Amino acid sequence: MKIHPLETGNFKLDGGAMFGVVPKTLWSRTNEPDEKNMCSWSMRCMLVEYDDRLVLIDTGIGEKQSDKFFSHYYLHGDATLLGSLKKLGFSPDDITDVFLTHLHFDHCGGAVQKNGEKLELLFKNATHWSTKNHWKWATEPNNREKASFLKENILPIQESGQLEFIERNGDYTKNVFPDFDVLFVDGHTDSQMIPHIRYQGKTLVFMADLLPSIGHIPLPYVMGYDTRPLKTLDEKEKFLKKAVEESYVLFLEHDVQNECCTLKMTEKGPRLKETFNFKEQF
């Protein structure tokens, strides 16, 4: 097995929305806002290379939305999903599996492209993985998340016949792929999937939106986007404690500055131990 980080570009979101009830004077220490109170966030994906399959975890925002849509999110940076794949010597047709942690537009938008006026899958040979619970949640959205679940990102996957569901067995499902387990969490959105990958003697965790950045490590630092913030608090507390005990390496999807981090226990609870680029550790 080989693992590759994939940069797909950056976008901006309101700092207050990203940190909920935490005051700007505190969250701005780790995430500096611009004059409009917007902070930069990455859309970092992961490629898991097996001998017989190539698994892509999340796909970024994609390129098919309107200029008006993109103008709300201030896309920046030179990296793209296709460009990052090409640098590794891969094309979209090489991908065998697309694992979607959840179906918010910045995590799944790159799975579908426009061909003229037609919507089609970018990864034509890939099985696309979600869960029944989350698929229903996304296709029958609540008013709070409606703007994040876009039909053009989601329905073409099902219409293609290339959608499969991962069975949820409680909060943890083992061996979805070899050495690849899934933790289910429900605070951000229903049945978000957090991959736990056993790699080179360590457990590498793709954090998705359970922990967007190192700035979100303290327990109260919960996004305003989360549908069940008290649930997130409970899930974070359990996860961060285990991350310290088991020496997990956390792979950060949205942290512009930091690809990975580890944690340590302090009097105030779990806190940052160190940050590093993926290639420095593996």
Domain boundaries, the chain: 2-281
Percent of the chain with pLDDT over 90: 98
b/e map 214-243, b = 16+ CB within 10 Å: bbbbbeebbbebbebbeebbebbeebbeeb
Q: Is 242 helix (H, G, I), strand (E, B) or coil?
A: helix
d(CA 188, CA 176): 22
> What is the CATH number assigned to the segment(s) 2-281?
3.60.15.10
- Average pLDDT of the chain? 97
Q: Residue 246: its pLDDT value, please?
A: 98
Q: Return all residues near 115 (Cβ < 8 A) that are at least 6 apart.
A: none
Q: Return all residues near 116 (Cβ < 8 A) that are at least 6 apart.
A: none
What is the helix (H) or strand (E) element at residue 69, kind and residue range? helix 67-71
Q: What is the DSSP letter of 86?
A: H
- 191 contacts 235 by C-beta, under 8 angstroms: no
> pTM (2 decimals)?
0.97
Reading the block at residue 43, the tokens are 């859309």
Q: Residue 117: its pLDDT value, please?
A: 86
d(CA 141, CA 59): 21
- 165-189 average pLDDT score: 96
d(CA 191, CA 185): 5
- Checking if the pLDDT of 187 tops 90, the result is yes
pLDDT in tens, 122-166: 999 999 999 999 999 999 999 999 999 999 999 999 999 999 999
Q: Residue 114: its pLDDT value, please?
A: 93
Give all strands (DSSP E) within the chain, no chain letters.
2-6, 10-14, 38-42, 45-49, 54-57, 97-99, 112-115, 118-121, 127-130, 163-165, 172-177, 180-185, 192-199, 202-206, 249-251, 260-266, 269-276
pLDDT band at 226 (very low <50, low <70, confident <90, very high): very high
- Checking if the pLDDT of 169 tops 90, the result is no
d(CA 219, CA 234): 9
- 8 contacts 45 by C-beta, under 8 angstroms: yes
For residue 98, which of 160, 136, 41, 47 has the smallest C-alpha distance? 47
- 31-50 average pLDDT score: 97
Q: What is the DSSP letter of 43?
A: -
- 196 contacts 182 by C-beta, under 8 angstroms: yes
**Between residues 117 and 72, which one has the greater pLDDT?**
72
What are the CA-CA distances from residue 116 to residues 108, 113, 120 (Å)? 20, 10, 10
Phi/psi of residue 278, nearest 5 degrees: -50, -45
d(CA 118, CA 156): 10
What are the CA-CA distances from residue 129 to residues 35, 73, 173, 197, 264 (Å)? 39, 26, 14, 16, 33
